[in-house]
C-alpha cells in the first residue's frame, strides 16, 4: 500500500494545483466594469439651484439599478462646468475603465471657453489609457440656455476628434413637461438620459451588460 502513496500524493498535488490555476484564471477573467461620472447638476439629479433639491432617483442610482454590474464613482457637482473643472481634473488619477463627461450647460450659460477645456479633459482620460464618453448637452426649455445647440455641437466635434464615444444626449426624446425647471430634467427625462448612457456603456463593455443581475422577485 505504501508503494502507491507517492503516486497518490502526486495526483492530489496535481489536482490541487489545477484547481488553484482555474480559480486564478476566473479571477483574472473578471470584467472591469468601473465608470466615473463627471458633470454638473444634471448628472447629479439636482434642480432649482439648491443642493437640497434632487430627484428621487439620481442618475448614478438609476444607472446602478439598470446596470448592476457596474461600479460607479459619482463626481457630479451642481453648478460645475468643464471650464472650471478642467484645471483640477487633469491632475486627477483615472482609475475607472470608463470616464463619462457631462459638461456644457453651465459653460453655455456663462459663455465659458468650453472647447479647449473639454479637449484637455479628453486628452487626460485618453493619456491614462481609459475610455471617455462625452454625453453632449441635454435639452432645455425654449430660452433656457440660448447657446445650448452651439455647445452641443462643440461636444460632438471634440468627442469625434478625440476618438471618444459620443452618447448624444441631445437626441434623447424630450418633452418640456418632463423638466423640473428651465434646464434641469425631472425624473422621467432623467431616466431616459440614463438609459442612453447605459446603452453607450453596453457598446463599450458588452460583457458588463451581460453580467449577472439580481434575480427577479418571486424566483
Distance of alpha carbon 114 from the chain centroid: 20
Kindly report the backbone phi and psi dihedral angles of residue 185, in degrees, each rounded to the nearest multiple of 5, phi listed first: -65, 140
- What's the rounded Cα separation, in Å, for the pair 211 and 114? 36
Residue 54, beta-bridge partner list: 46
Q: How confident is the model at residue 104 (pLDDT cuts 50, 70, 90)?
A: very high
Does residue 141 register a pLDDT over 70? yes
Q: Any idea what the Cα angle at residue 141 is, between residues 139 and 149, rounded to 5°?
A: 45
Return the C-alpha cell found at 147.
447657446
Write the pLDDT tens digit of every residue in 32-85.
Answer: 999 999 999 999 999 988 888 999 999 999 999 999 999 999 999 999 999 999
Residue 109 clears pLDDT 80, i.e. is over it: yes
pLDDT digits (tens, 9 = 90+) for 158-199: 999 999 999 999 999 999 999 999 999 999 999 999 999 999
Cα separation, 83 vs 112, whole angstroms: 6
Cell of 89: 481634473
Q: 219: buried, middle or exposed (CB in 10 Å: 19+, 13-18, 0-12)? A: exposed
pTM to 2 decimal places:
0.84
**Contact assessment for residue 106 and residue 80, using Cβ atoms and an 8 Å cutoff:** yes
Please, where are the H alpha helices in the chain?
5-28, 41-44, 59-66, 82-89, 105-110, 114-127, 148-162, 187-204, 206-209
What are the residue boundaries of the structural domains of the chain, listed by start? Answer: 1-30, 31-209
Q: What's the fold here for domain 31-209?
A: Rossmann fold (3.40.50)
CA 140-143-147 angle, to 5 degrees, is: 75
- Concatenated DSSP letters of 155-215: HHHHHHHHTPEE--GGGS---GGGBSSSSSB-HHHHHHHHHHHHHHHHHH-HHHHSS--PP
Mean pLDDT, the chain, rounded, equals 88
Residue 168 has a pLDDT of 98
Section 125-152 average pLDDT: 97
Amino acid at each position: 500500500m505504501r508503494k502507491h502513496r507517492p503516486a497518490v500524493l502526486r495526483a492530489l498535488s496535481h489536482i490541487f494545483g489545477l484547481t488553484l490555476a482555474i480559480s486564478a484564471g476566473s479571477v483574472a477573467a473578471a470584467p472591469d466594469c468601473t465608470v466615473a461620472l463627471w458633470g454638473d447638476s444634471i448628472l447629479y439629479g439636482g434642480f432649482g439651484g439648491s443642493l437640497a433639491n434632487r430627484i428621487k432617483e439620481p442618475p448614478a442610482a438609476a444607472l446602478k439599478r439598470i446596470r448592476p454590474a457596474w461600479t460607479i464613482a459619482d463626481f457630479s457637482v451642481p453648478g460645475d462646468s468643464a471650464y472650471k473643472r478642467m484645471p483640477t481634473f487633469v491632475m486627477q488619477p483615472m482609475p475607472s475603465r470608463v470616464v463619462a463627461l457631462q459638461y456644457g450647460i453651465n459653460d453655455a450659460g456663462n459663455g465659458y471657453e468650453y472647447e479647449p477645456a473639454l479637449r484637455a479633459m479628453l486628452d487626460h482620460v485618453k493619456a491614462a489609457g481609459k475610455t471617455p464618453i462625452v454625453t453632449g448637452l441635454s435639452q432645455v426649455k425654449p430660452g433656457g440656455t440660448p447657446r445650448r445647440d452651439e455647445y452641443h455641437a462643440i461636444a460632438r466635434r471634440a468627442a469625434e476628434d478625440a476618438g471618444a464615444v459620443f452618447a448624444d444626449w441631445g437626441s434623447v426624446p424630450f418633452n418640456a413637461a418632463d423638466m423640473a425647471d428651465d434646464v434641469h430634467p425631472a425624473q422621467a427625462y432623467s431616466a431616459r438620459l440614463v438609459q442612453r448612457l447605459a446603452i453607450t456603456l453596453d457598446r463599450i463593455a458588452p460583457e458588463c451588460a451581460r453580467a449577472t443581475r439580481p434575480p427577479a422577485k418571486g424566483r
